[in-house]
Chains A and B, each alone.
Chain A
Amino acid sequence: DADVTQTPRNRITKTGKRIMLECSQTKGHDRMYWYRQDPGLGLRLIYYSFDVKDINKGEISDGYSVSRQAQAKFSLSLESAIPNQTALYFCATSDLARGETQYFGPGTRLLVL
Chain B
Amino acid sequence: QKEVEQDPGPLSVPEGAIVSLNCTYSNSAFQYFMWYRQYSRKGPELLMYTYSSGNKEDGRFTAQVDKSSKYISLFIRDSQPSDSATYLCAMRTNTGNQFYFGTGTSLTVIP
Main SS at interface, chain A: strand
Query: Given the complex, which residues of B lie within 8 Å of A12, measured CB to CB?
Result: none
Q: Is B103 a contact partner of A99 (Cβ separation < 8 A)?
A: no
User: B97: CB under 8 A from chain A?
Assistant: yes
Q: Is B98 a contact partner of A42 (Cβ separation < 8 A)?
A: no
- How many interface contacts (CB-CB < 8 Å) are there between A and B? 56
**Number of residues in A with C-beta < 8 Å to the partner?**
25
- Of B34, B43, B101, which is within 8 A of A101 by CB? B34
In the complex, chain A residues 49-104 whose Cβ is within 8 Å of any chain B Cβ: 50, 56, 58-59, 90, 92, 98-104
Looking at chain B, what size class is its interface with the partner chain?
20 to 34
Q: Mark B42-84, 1 if CB is under 8 A from A, else 0.
A: 1111100101000000000000000000000000000000000
**Shortest Cβ distance from A109 into B: residue:** B41
Q: Is A42 a contact partner of B102 (Cβ separation < 8 A)?
A: yes
**Shortest Cβ distance from A58 into B: residue:** B98
In whole angstroms, what is the CA distance A29 to B41 when docked? 24
Query: Given the complex, which residues of A lie within 8 Å of B46, measured CB to CB?
Result: 101-103
- Of B43, B92, B97, B98, which is within 8 A of A106 by CB? B43
**Chain B residues with a Cβ under 8 A of chain A:** 6, 8, 32, 34, 36, 41-46, 49, 51, 88, 90, 92, 97-99, 101-104
